[in-house]
Amino acid sequence: MKKKFKAIPRFKNEDEERDFWATADTTEYFDTSKPIKLNLSKLKPSTESISLRLPQYLLARIKQLANFRDVPYQSLMKIFLAERVAKELRGK
């Protein structure tokens, strides 16, 4: 007899979906006996726009560094922030 799986609910946003899957039993929603191969190498994390006020001299220096590295200044700021957050979380 073939098992009947539950329908996956519709979610309002990623947070709601994340909360659902944190407690849901996936075997009630998916046939785990037949795994499929996925390539998620090009998947990008969700982003959120923010406003950030910086002193003009600091933004000018960041843009100058970005120009030297030939990357967009906002991308460089994300790199700097990610590196610092990782360092802080390591406790260094």
Query: What is residue 92's predicted lDDT score, i.e. its pLDDT?
Result: 61
- Does residue 40 lie in a domain region? no
Neighbours of 34 (CB within 10 A): 6
Query: What is residue 2's predicted lDDT score, i.e. its pLDDT?
Result: 75
- Does residue 43 lie in a domain region? no
Neighbours of 11 (CB within 10 A): 13
Per-residue pLDDT tens digits for 26-36: 999 988 888 88
- Does residue 83 lie in a domain region? yes
- Does residue 23 lie in a domain region? no
Full residue range of the structural domain in which residue 89 is found? 52-92
Domains of the chain: total: 1
Per-residue pLDDT tens digits for 13-49: 999 999 999 999 999 998 888 888 888 888 888 888 9
